[in-house]
Amino acid sequence: MRRAVPVLLLTVAGLVPLWRFEPRADTVTAAVEQPAAGQPVPRTAETVEGPLVRTRHGDVQVAVVFEGDRITGVRVVRQPDSAPTRRALPVLVEEALVAQSADVDAVSGATTTSEAYVESLQAALDARG
């Protein structure tokens, strides 16, 4: 009986992460609004991939979608598989779309991923010119 309680507690402790597991989304893509009727149709979108940035938590790589000179989307090609990263990436994508640059703030709890995201994003912007 003395061993049954620790074994039961350890079993439950081992199952909790399995219950909380959420499958990883392969990409995060920002939505792009379609032009209203009567508005000119934008030029064909161009996508530029940033480099793969390696971190201790995992690799980060983004692809930037341009229509003309505007950033209309940021797609995360590679990302670490962690809850803070899953929460941070949509925020970083939205900030990049609003700022129209890589000048975005790091997300608390995902600082390393945020820095890698900015590095890959800035390299993609630089590559396009």
The residue extents of the domains of the chain are 25-35+42-128
Over range 66-85, report the average pLDDT.
Answer: 92
Using an 8 Å Cβ cutoff, are 95 and 105 in contact? yes
Per-residue model confidence as pLDDT tens digits over 28-68: 555 445 555 566 655 678 999 999 999 999 999 999 999 98
Rounded Cα–Cα distance for residues 66 and 75 (Å): 11
25-35+42-128: CATH topology is Sufe protein. Chain: A (3.90.1010)
Decide the pairing of beta strands 58-67 and 70-78. antiparallel
Using an 8 Å Cβ cutoff, are 85 and 79 in contact? yes
123: how many CB neighbours lie within 10 A of its CB?
Answer: 19
Average predicted confidence (pLDDT) for the chain: 83
